[in-house]
Amino acid sequence: CASQKLDVLLWSLLQTCGEENISSPVLREVKFHSVDYRNILHWKTQSHPDGNQKYFVQYKIYGEKHWTTARHCQGITQLYCDLSQQTSDPWERYYARVQAEVSGHQSSWVLSPRFNPHWETSVSPPTMRLNVTERAIVVRLKPPKSPYRRRRGSWISMKKLQKLTYRVYLMHSGSIQASATSSRLCDHVSKTGKCISSVYLLRV
């Protein structure tokens, strides 16, 4: 009889320990990554043997009292949530938070650092087209698109959202032979394998 009671006690302890482990999924490094105003919330977590972790995301503007549920990121299994449309004002400051759930047990909410799209987004390289003649190289640059649309449906260029200046370099054998902030390079053009590249100058 004593042996049976001991077995029951050990079984209860094991069940309790198992429930504690399940009820505490660990979330970490909750933060925004932003390129061209595509504001993606990422996070990391410890994998669970069941492999059934689900995640729930909320967000709010700095200063607001109440959190807003990101409806498209409820009960998801991936470790990211696209909040571009929910954080579309580039000058606002936002927070987001994530909660994990495993087998019906929920973690505490984990908060992201404060996020400002205008200052924290990165700008991807432009597409570049060249028109080479005997007298000049004409470089046409096209800025990347943002994830936002006008009322008629066309995409809004990053140039409309950021004050961008382009600097174009003409290089040969690793050395810069010419540069310009306009789209036209009028230095002599030889047929010896010159390379043209461009970078953004972000005016703040």
As to burial, measured by CB atoms within 10 angstroms (0-12 exposed, 13-18 middle, 19+ buried), residue 17 is exposed
Highest mean pLDDT out of 6-10, 104-108, 147-151, 157-161: 104-108
The residue ranking higher by pLDDT, 12 or 29, is 29
| CA–CA dist 168, 163 (Å, integer) | 17
Q: Of the given ranges (43-47, 100-104, 157-161), which has the lowest mean pLDDT?
A: 157-161
**pLDDT value at position 29?**
95
Q: How far is the CA of 171 from the CAs of 125, 145, 174, 193, 195, in angstroms?
A: 18, 28, 6, 9, 5
Sorted by where each begins, the domain ranges of the chain are: 22-120, 127-202
Indicate whether 69 pLDDT > 80.
Answer: yes
Q: Cβ neighbours of residue 145 under 8 Å, at least 6 residues apart?
A: 36, 155, 156, 157, 158
**pLDDT value at position 108?**
93
CB 181 within 8 A of CB 201: yes
User: What dotted CATH number matches 127-202?
Assistant: 2.60.40.10
**pLDDT value at position 56?**
97
The 10s digit of each residue's pLDDT in 20-65 is 444 567 889 999 999 999 999 999 998 765 568 999 999 999 999 9
The residue ranking higher by pLDDT, 81 or 46, is 81
**pLDDT value at position 50?**
59
User: Per-residue confidence at 180, pLDDT binned at 50, 70, 90?
Assistant: low
What pairs with residue 137 in β-bridges?
Answer: 132, 185
| CA–CA dist 101, 54 (Å, integer) | 5
Q: Domain spanning 22-120: which CATH class is it, in words?
A: mainly beta
Q: Residue range 125-135: average pLDDT?
A: 81
Domains 22-120 and 127-202 share a fold: yes
Q: Residue range 2-17: average pLDDT?
A: 51
